[in-house]
Structure 1
């Protein structure tokens, strides 16, 4: 309606601009629910990848890192070969959104997935970024490409989610930790949340916690 009134005024069909007479829709902070998928769907997504091809090996490694550590697409795109410490089984994320860095223990599953990809990764390129395009000229993947790939893989696996992308797996990682009763402060530090409120929003989908409140007596809750 506001757009229509603005058009009428611009075309001089209405002398008076009535746009301000129509109130904007009110939105509230933390009103939405994180677009996570069930952990069973994460496993189904990973199982759907054909790891016999170079593309499958690359995408599988990226998906495992996203789901295991709740990384952002930008952090995946920025990962370099030097960020993997194979001697101590660690992976460093140096370019986090909050301006800090994080070092994770490299799980056996994630480590094996990355090694399997690196064995077929092009070595005749100067780029140090870990994940490259699979076609010439073999340039580093951009964050938009990472997110788009995840969306394509989710739809191919028949997993329905609104705005499918890399953040879907980030949300799934956090929700999985919430369901495992990991403290919110620990979860926030783990995934690199700058604001504690970013982690607390997942309390709305912690069904096991909400169920405890529903079946408990008022005295127990208070």
Structure 2
């Protein structure tokens, strides 16, 4: 009895990252009303997601002391008390400055971003506050995003860095990955580069 060889299948757990397009991300950012305190806050948060690929809980954890204006850097508190220092892009710095000077409510709370409604304080850890900040601008901009969460901005940054030639190590450093295996997930997204490495199928007449 003959048997055909089995075809290799690739695990998709965790699944391939679903990234928002740069154009849609910019539409959401531009849709924030900079004449209002809410719009100033939301724009700063969206820029942090898009430019630095931060996790929601990292943005929630930011305090006023985490902005190092002298060096132009941000102190990011990641998973497992892992901290990293990231450069503050010019547009991110300008957005945070605008929020602090014209949008942030007066409060003794030292968190960088505060609720817009009473009680005026930082967002509760583990809440979906950043997810809500993402959903409303996307809805206003009528963007058909891959999903409604904040992680799509993080994935988009990783894919863009990969397309621009950044190594997986560099991407992992920016995103705060503790394990190279986590970052290697993004190698599957760069299909054009992977295709060039694939050997021809046996018997291919090319």
TM-score by length of 1: 0.78
Contact 2:50 2:154 (C-alpha < 8 Å) held by counterparts: yes
Deviations 1:9-44 (A, max 9, x none): xxxxxxxxxxxxxxxxxx945362211112222222
For residues 137-176 of structure 1, what are the structure 2 equivalents within 5 Å?
Answer: 137-142=119-124, 143-176=127-160
> 3-state SS of the aligned residue for 1:181?
coil
Aligned twin of 1:78: 61
Per the TM alignment, residue 195 of structure 1 is displaced from its structure 2 partner at its CA by: 2.1
TM-score scaled to structure 2, two decimals? 0.83
**Would you say 1:90 and 2:73 are equivalent positions?**
yes
How many residues align structurally? 189
- Say what the alpha-carbon RMSD is for the aligned residues: 2.1
Indicate yes or no: 2:61 matched with 1:67. no
- Report the structure number with the largest CA radius of gyration: 1
Supply the distance in 2 between the matched residues of 1:84 and 1:91 (Cα, whole angstroms): 5
Measure the CA separation in 1 of the matches of 2:27 and 2:192: 23
Shift of 1:205: 1.8
CA contact (8 A) 1:91 1:105 kept: yes
List structure 1 segments (4+ residues) > 4 angstroms apart after TM superposition.
Answer: none
Structure 1: state its 5+ residue gaps: 1-26
Change (3 A) 1:159 1:210: farther
* Structure (1 or 2) with the greater helix fraction: 1
* Structure 1 residue 101 displacement after superposition: 0.4
Aligned to 2:108: 126
Distance (Å, rounded) in 1 between the aligned partners of 2:138 and 2:186: 22
Larger RCO (CA under 8 A, 6+ residues apart) = 2
Provide the rounded CA distance (Å) in 2 between the counterparts of 1:97 and 1:179. Answer: 26
1:117-158 deviation line (CA, Å, top 9, x unaligned): 0012122x1100000011222121234111222123223322
CA distance in 1 between partners of 2:182 and 2:57 (Å): 18
Does the 8 Å CA contact 1:72/1:166 hold for their aligned counterparts? yes
Question: Cα 1:162–1:41, aligned 2, differ >3 Å: closer, same or farther?
Answer: closer
> Which of 173, 176, 182 does residue 192 from structure 1 map onto?
176
Tell me, in whole angstroms, the C-alpha distance in 2 between the residues paired with 1:51 and 1:162. 26
Q: Which moved more, 1:156-165 or 1:37-46?
A: 156-165
